[in-house]
C-alpha cells in the first residue's frame, strides 16, 4: 500500500485578541489567577460575522498552498468540529463549496477536542485504493468557535477557550514515511464530564433551555484532569507498543492544548526523553479540535521538523475520547518552508 503522509499544513486565527483581564472581569477572577491555573495569557475570538466554516476555509487555503495542491485534486474533506455553523448541513460541505473542491466528498467528525486526530486517521485510511494506489488527496481540518457556546461568567470554562482553525493536506509519501499507526479509544461511561446539554433531539431549543443556560459548554475540570492523567500515558504507550517504537524514538510531541498547567504536569509522565513538546496554549488558549493542527502548523512553519523525524499527535476530550497518531515526517513531500513564507 502506498504510504500516506502530511504534504502541508495551514492555520487561521481570528484578529481579535482577548486578554486575561477582559475574560477575568466577566468571570470574576484576576489575570494572575487565570495564568496560574491554566498557563494561558490570551486567546482569539471570532468576529461577529465569522462562523466555524469561515475559519476552516482560511486554514484550508493555507494548507493547500503549502502543499502545492489545488482544491480540485481533493477526494476527501473532513472537518472536525463540535461548534458547526448549524446542525445541518455538515460544515465540511460549506467548506467544500467555498474552496471549489468539486471532486471531494465532505463530512464532519465530532469527537470534540480529539476530533482532529479521529479525522486524520479516517482520512488516511480512506485514501489508499484496493489496488494499492492513492485516490487523490485529503484535507483534514480542525475548527471551533467556542466563544459562542461558553458561559462568560463560568470561571471553570470561560478562561480556557479560544477560537481558531488548523488544517493538513494528506497524500502519498515515500515508503516508510507518513502515518505509521494510530490508537483511538472512547469512554462513553464518562460522557458527563464534558457536555452541551441542549440543542439536540433530547433537549430541543426552547425558551426554558435558553433561560437555564443549557446551550452552554459545561465541564467537570477535576474529572477531566483525572481522566487525562490516567488515560493519556496509556494511549501513548499503546500506539508506540503496537507499532514497535521506543519512547526515545519520538522526536516531537504535539498534544491537544487543553490547559498549560495540566500539560506541564502530564507530559513528563509520558516518558518521552527526546521529544520536543510543541505548545501554543499560552497564546491561543484551548481551541478544541483546532488546537493540534494549529500547533502542528506553527511547528512546521518554524522549520522544526526534519526528514525522518517521528511526530506524535495526541488528542483527548469530550466523549470521553482519546486519539494518538504517529507520523514519520517526509521532508521531500513537505519541505521546510522558507523563512519569508512563515505565517
Cα dihedral sign for 301, 303, 305, 311?
negative
Q: Stretch 287-297: mean pLDDT, rounded?
A: 98
**Bond prior to 159 in cis (omega within 30° of 0):** no
String of DSSP letters for 164-188: EEEEEEEEEE-TT-EEEEEEEEE-G
> What residues contact 322, with CB distance under 8 A and at least 6 apart?
114, 183, 184, 185, 186, 187, 231, 232, 235, 314, 315, 316
Q: Does residue 308 carry a pLDDT above 90?
A: yes
pLDDT digits (tens, 9 = 90+) for 24-64: 999 999 999 999 999 999 999 999 999 999 999 999 999 99
pLDDT digits (tens, 9 = 90+) for 144-202: 999 999 999 999 999 999 999 999 999 999 999 999 999 999 999 999 999 999 999 99
Res. 336 pLDDT band, cuts 50 70 90: confident
Look at residue 343 in the predicted model and tell me its pLDDT. Answer: 43
Look at residue 130 in the predicted model and tell me its pLDDT. Answer: 59
Q: Does residue 338 carry a pLDDT above 90?
A: no
Q: Does residue 129 carry a pLDDT above 80?
A: no
Q: Does residue 7 carry a pLDDT above 90?
A: yes
Domain ranges of the chain: 1-343
Q: What is the dihedral of CA 59, 84, 47, 139, to 10 degrees?
A: 0
**Helix or strand or coil: residue 218?**
strand
Look at residue 342 in the predicted model and tell me its pLDDT. Answer: 41
d(CA 115, CA 89): 18
Look at residue 339 in the predicted model and tell me its pLDDT. Answer: 54
Nearest CA to 337 out of 291, 308, 298, 280 is that of 298
What is the CATH architecture assignment of 1-343? 3-Layer(aba) Sandwich (3.40)
Look at residue 337 in the predicted model and tell me its pLDDT. Answer: 76
Instruction: Tell me the average pLDDT of the chain.
Output: 95
Q: Does residue 245 carry a pLDDT above 80?
A: yes
Look at residue 2 in the predicted model and tell me its pLDDT. Answer: 84
**Helix or strand or coil: residue 7?**
strand
Q: Stretch 78-93: mean pLDDT, rounded?
A: 97
Look at residue 340 in the predicted model and tell me its pLDDT. Answer: 46
Res. 128 pLDDT band, cuts 50 70 90: confident
d(CA 88, CA 64): 26
Provide the annotated active-site residues.
113, 256, 286
Look at residue 9 in the predicted model and tell me its pLDDT. Answer: 98
Q: Stretch 62-72: mean pLDDT, rounded?
A: 97
Look at residue 148 in the predicted model and tell me its pLDDT. Answer: 96
Q: Does residue 132 carry a pLDDT above 80?
A: no
Res. 135 pLDDT band, cuts 50 70 90: confident
Amino acid at each position: 500500500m502506498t504510504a500516506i503522509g502530511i504534504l502541508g499544513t495551514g492555520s487561521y486565527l481570528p484578529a481579535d485578541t482577548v486578554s486575561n483581564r477582559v475574560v477575568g472581569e466577566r468571570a470574576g477572577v484576576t489575570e494572575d489567577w487565570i495564568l496560574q491555573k491554566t498557563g494561558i495569557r490570551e486567546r482569539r475570538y471570532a468576529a461577529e460575522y465569522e462562523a466555524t466554516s469561515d475559519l476552516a476555509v482560511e486554514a484550508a487555503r493555507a494548507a493547500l498552498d503549502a502543499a502545492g495542491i489545488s482544491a480540485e485534486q481533493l477526494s476527501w474533506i473532513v472537518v472536525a468540529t463540535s461548534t458547526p455553523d448549524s446542525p445541518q448541513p455538515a460544515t465540511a460541505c460549506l467548506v467544500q463549496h467555498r474552496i471549489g473542491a468539486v471532486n471531494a466528498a465532505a463530512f464532519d467528525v465530532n469527537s470534540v477536542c480529539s476530533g482532529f486526530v479521529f479525522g486524520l486517521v479516517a482520512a488516511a485510511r480512506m485514501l489508499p485504493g484496493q489496488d494499492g494506489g492513492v485516490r487523490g488527496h485529503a484535507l483534514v481540518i480542525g475548527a471551533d468557535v467556542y466563544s459562542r457556546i461558553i458561559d462568560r461568567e463560568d470561571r471553570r470554562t470561560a478562561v480556557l477557550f479560544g477560537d481558531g482553525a488548523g488544517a493538513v493536506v494528506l497524500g502519498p509519501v515515500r515508503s516508510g514515511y507518513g502515518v505509521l499507526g494510530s490508537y483511538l479509544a472512547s469512554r462513553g461511561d464518562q460522557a458527563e464530564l464534558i457536555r452541551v446539554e441542549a440543542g439536540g433531539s433530547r433537549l430541543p431549543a426552547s425558551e426554558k433551555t435558553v433561560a437555564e443556560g443549557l446551550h452552554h459548554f459545561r465541564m467537570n475540570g477535576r474529572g477531566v484532569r483525572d481522566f487525562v492523567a490516567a488515560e493519556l500515558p496509556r494511549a501513548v504507550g499503546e500506539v508506540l507498543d503496537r507499532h514497535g517504537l521506543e519512547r526515545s524514538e519520538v522526536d516531537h510531541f504535539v498534544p491537544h492544548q487543553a490547559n498549560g498547567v495540566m500539560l506541564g504536569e502530564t507530559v513528563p509522565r509520558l516518558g518521552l526523553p527526546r521529544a520536543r513538546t510543541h505548545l501554543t496554549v499560552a497564546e491561543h488558549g484551548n481551541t478544541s479540535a483546532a488546537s493540534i493542527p494549529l500547533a502542528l502548523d506553527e511547528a512546521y512553519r518554524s522549520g522544526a521538523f526534519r526528514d525522518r523525524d517521528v511526530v506524535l499527535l495526541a488528542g483527548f476530550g469530550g466523549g470521553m475520547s482519546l486519539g494518538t497518531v504517529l507520523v514519520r515526517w517526509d521532508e521531500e513531500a513537505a519541505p521546510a518552508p522558507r523563512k519569508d513564507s512563515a505565517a
